[in-house]
Amino acid sequence: TKKPQCQYFYFLSKYCTYIYLMLKTPFALLKDITFDLRDVVFVIQSQRNSFHVRQAEKLRKDLLLQTQALQESPPVILLLHTLSDNEGDWSILPLLPNLSSQFGKNSSWIMFLEEDTRVKLQKLHEVLKKFDRRKVRTFHIIRYFCFPHVQKVLSLLNKIQIEPLMVALYIWEDRKGPRLTGVPELCTIPEHNPRAQYCATTVSSQSPLCGQPVKSDNIFVAVKTCKKFHSDRETQRSPLTKELHCYLFIQNTLNCHCGKTFAILRRFLSNHVPNTDWLLIVDDDTLISLPRLQALLSCYDSSEPVCLGERYGYGLGQGGYSYITGGGGMVFSREAVVQLLASGCKCYSNDAPDDMVLGMCLNALRVPVTHSPLFHQARPEDYAKEFLAHQTPISFHKHWNIDPIAVFNKWLKDDKHTEGLQKNTKDEL
């Protein structure tokens, strides 16, 4: 299929492009420029996990209530996880051909929404009316994402897939792509920001909390490390080991990530450690707020096979798989670990990439990988400040060229988001 000519709306920051993805299809035969909400197909980027299904349904209900208040006919609202069994649909590009064929003749726009996107339909209506669809026969792609080093990632285009990155490269097209058109009403500021009154879209700034936070003694923390780093990196963690079920897996090797991780999984289910509902596996240079993780886990059912963290993908367009990137922290429910080990999943070598091996096994089991943008594979400085502005982050990764204690105190220290949790514990990794 010939790649369509494209034009894009965007919100540009210093290091990152934030956009909402929308699709404009050809309307050569239109005789007027009237517009109503039935011209828009909303795709909520839902996930299969029960908590995220509920979040997506809340957004869907809100859109329908706004439509009713405006006395408009309801638009099509789709939940992404129900559209197909294709594992790669979350990365956007594999989904576009199907959406184009299904809605290309009857809809003007397709708008992708995160679960925490807040939409003001009246304002959106005003924004989209500005564009004459009789003259514009293009794709408009608007969704937020970040890609700080485009040149370095081109070689990974057909392998490692991070949804925003893939859309960004599709637009960029080796610097030959179409120019972007700024639409300031499509905002990434929090919904309660005073400037949000001018926005058609905003984001929720609330930290996830669905009841009482999970108790710290119900999370088993496993730190992958080796003797080389034990004297410096692990001394920063000494208070943690007194308060939590914490297991330091130390081998005198820098590699063997997969071997270490599967030893942790087996240990977690053994009688040698306390029985807990949750397992957290981190690297020895992962920075993480345990109180915020405790609050987040209140939204998940430990009786379900939950695998939670920052999601990446490998070869999704060619039958690949998703996985939780290890540096930001990998969270597993006990049920997920039971199913993984019962399946016979194992490392093809001790030094294999553990997160990717787990991703392959979870894909074979059809256990969903659940994404949370609050986990981060990189350091805070590697992200645009606008990207982090509306988050209450849970983790960052790497001690390279930073003071990890200073980073923790600035980004992850206990604050108003973790009120009600124990304040006398210095929860850091």
Boundary-marking domain end, from 171, 203, 235: 203
Query: Which range marks the domain in which residue 116 is found?
Result: 6-203
Evaluate whether 294 touches 421 at the Cβ level (below 8 Å).
yes
Question: For residue 425, is it within any domain?
Answer: no
Grade residue 149 by pLDDT with cuts at 50, 70 and 90. very low
Give yes or no: residues 175 and 234 share one domain.
no
If asked whether residues 122 and 241 sit together in one domain, one would say: no
Same-domain check for residues 264 and 382: yes
When pLDDT is cut at 50, 70 and 90, the band that residue 174 belongs to is low
Residues 21 and 108 in one domain: yes
> Where a domain ends, among 178, 203, 228?
203
Structural domain contains residue 302? yes
Distances in Å between the Cα of 340 and the Cα atoms of 94, 192, 362, 365 are 27, 42, 7, 8
Helices (H), 300-353: 334-342
| CB contact at 8 A, 148 and 94 | no
Q: Please report which helix (H) or strand (E) contains residue 257, including its range.
A: helix 257-268
- Identify whether residues 196 and 224 lie together within a single domain: no
Whether 103 has a pLDDT exceeding 90, the answer reads no
CATH of residue 351's domain is: 3.90.550.50
State whether 413 and 347 are in the same domain.
Answer: yes
pLDDT of residue 134: 52
pLDDT tens digits for range 80-91: 999 988 777 888
**Which of 148, 171, 203 is at the close of a domain?**
203
Is 118 a member of any domain?
A: yes
Look at residue 287 and tell me whether its pLDDT is greater than 70: yes
Average pLDDT, the chain: 77
Do 230 and 120 sit in the same domain of this protein?
A: no
Identify whether residues 26 and 161 lie together within a single domain: yes
Whichever domain contains 136, its CATH number is 3.90.550
In a domain, 211, yes or no: no
Distances (CA, A) of 115 to 16, 44, 80, 159: 21, 6, 11, 26
How many independent structural domains does the chain possess? 2
